[in-house]
């Protein structure tokens, strides 16, 4: 597989987002199936694996760590802290954003144990806790670098201004934000900020949470714990309008000789050489399909046609609920 750079690491041009294996999109696959997907990614040449303390309310990192432990020297392992599942007095784990230095150290130590490793290659601040100056949160991660527990520092869902502030404290190797044809917010300022400081841009949800691979046909069938139930773009009224984009989009994929999922990933790979998409899936066949996107060639005319057809003007609804929008720092159109 072709490679790209994240800080000091040379990684596969397509990484694997591991969240889907037990978080976010309804009933997770059985553990043995999740393991098969991770191993299939290794076989396909994937060397970048992305997880987080929060995923699966703490269960994703142990899965990823167990399966990847025998292959640790051959991969780049990324995780995130500053947002984790924290048990309250009632014993129930709840999602908490906490960017205080002591919380970040706690999250990192827990992640090291869960991942069964002595160092995390790329450690992201999962969310900027706006009650804590970004300099303090990044300063805590920089001290973890000094201690040899983290190799490179990343940020997630932050604005260009926040990126520059953080970079003054410690070099930022990667910035991770949602980016796809239907979520173009990074084009406002973050992509340019990454280029300015030499950071890679890691694109999560590059398949638009299933939309761009034509996998979501009935939004009323989402199970109660599917996070898309709270996303305005998947609300029935908005989604009815968004579905009108698919016929032309799928026609462009046929013209390009690829599947809709491969088209979405190939578009990102063609945009810039510093972009590393991290699609996630819970099925081996989808993993195999996604990885073949690295071989898809798109002409300038095809790129232009895609961008004209699916963009912030043609997509209906915000990507996040109002509550979630207050928790991120990314620019909005």
Task: Count other C-beta atoms under 10 Å from residue 240's C-beta.
Answer: 11
State what percent of residues in the chain have pLDDT above 90: 95
What pLDDT is attached to residue 234? Answer: 98
Bridge partners of 277, per DSSP, are 203
Q: Which residues are catalytic?
A: 55
pLDDT band with cut points at 50, 70 and 90 for residue 23 = confident
CA distance 307 to 267: 9
Mean pLDDT of the chain: 97
Q: Helices 134-146 and 160-169 meet at what angle, rounded to 10?
A: 40
Structure tokens at 100: 């205080």
Instruction: Judge whether residue 79 has pLDDT over 90.
Output: yes
Query: If you average pLDDT over residues 302-329, what whole number do you get?
Result: 97
pLDDT band with cut points at 50, 70 and 90 for residue 26 = confident
Query: If you average pLDDT over residues 271-292, what whole number do you get?
Result: 97
Structure tokens at 274: 């510093």
Summarize pLDDT for 147-176 with one digit per residue, the tens.
Answer: 999 999 999 999 999 999 999 999 999 999
What pLDDT is attached to residue 88? Answer: 86
Query: If you average pLDDT over residues 126-142, what whole number do you get?
Result: 98
Kindly report the backbone phi and psi dihedral angles of residue 129, in degrees, each rounded to the nearest multiple of 5, phi listed first.
-75, 110
pLDDT band with cut points at 50, 70 and 90 for residue 89 = confident
Burial class (CB in 10 A: 0-12, 13-18, 19+), 333: exposed
pTM of the model: 0.97
Lowest mean pLDDT among 81-95, 178-192, 307-321: 81-95
pLDDT band with cut points at 50, 70 and 90 for residue 129 = very high
pLDDT band with cut points at 50, 70 and 90 for residue 228 = very high
Instruction: Judge whether residue 60 has pLDDT over 90.
Output: yes
CA distance 105 to 213: 38
Bridge partners of 80, per DSSP, are 124
Q: Which CATH number among 1.10.620.20, 3.40.50.720, 3.20.20.100, 3.40.30.10 corresponds to the domain 3-327?
A: 3.20.20.100
What pLDDT is attached to residue 320? Answer: 97
Instruction: Judge whether residue 307 has pLDDT over 90.
Output: yes
């Amino acid at each position: 597989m072709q490679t790209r750079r994240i800080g000091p690491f040379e990684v596969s041009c397509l990484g694997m987002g591991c969240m889907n294996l037990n978080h976010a999109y309804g009933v997770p696959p059985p553990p043995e199936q999740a393991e098969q997907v991770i191993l299939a990614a290794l076989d396909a040449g994937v060397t970048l694996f992305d997880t987080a303390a929060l995923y699966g309310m703490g269960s994703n990192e142990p899965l990823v760590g167990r399966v990847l432990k025998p292959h640790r020297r051959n991969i780049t392992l990324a995780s995130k802290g500053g947002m984790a599942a924290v048990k309250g007095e009632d014993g129930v784990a709840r999602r908490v954003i906490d960017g205080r230095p002591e919380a970040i150290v706690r999250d990192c130590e827990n992640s090291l144990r869960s991942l069964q490793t002595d160092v995390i290659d790329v450690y992201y601040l999962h969310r900027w806790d706006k009650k804590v100056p970004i300099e303090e949160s990044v300063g805590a991660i920089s001290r973890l670098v000094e201690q040899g527990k983290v190799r490179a520092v990343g940020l997630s869902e932050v604005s260009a201004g926040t990126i520059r502030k953080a970079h003054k404290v410690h070099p930022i190797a990667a910035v991770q934000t949602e980016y796809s044809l239907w979520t173009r917010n990074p084009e406002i300022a973050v992509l340019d900020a990454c280029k300015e400081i030499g950071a890679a841009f890691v694109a999560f949800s590059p398949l638009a949470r299933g939309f761009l691979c034509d996998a979501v046909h009935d939004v009323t069938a989402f199970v109660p714990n599917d996070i898309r139930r709270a996303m305005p773009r998947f609300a029935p009224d908005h989604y009815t309008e968004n579905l009108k984009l698919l016929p032309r989009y799928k026609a462009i994929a046929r013209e390009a000789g690829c599947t809709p999922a491969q088209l979405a990933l190939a578009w990102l790979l063609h945009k810039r050489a510093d972009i590393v998409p991290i699609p996630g899936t819970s099925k081996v066949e989808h993993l195999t399909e996604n990885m073949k996107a690295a071989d898809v060639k798109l002409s300038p005319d095809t790129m232009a046609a895609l961008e004209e057809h699916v963009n912030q003007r043609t997509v209906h609804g915000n990507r996040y609920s109002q509550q979630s929008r207050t928790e991120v720092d990314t620019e909005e159109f």
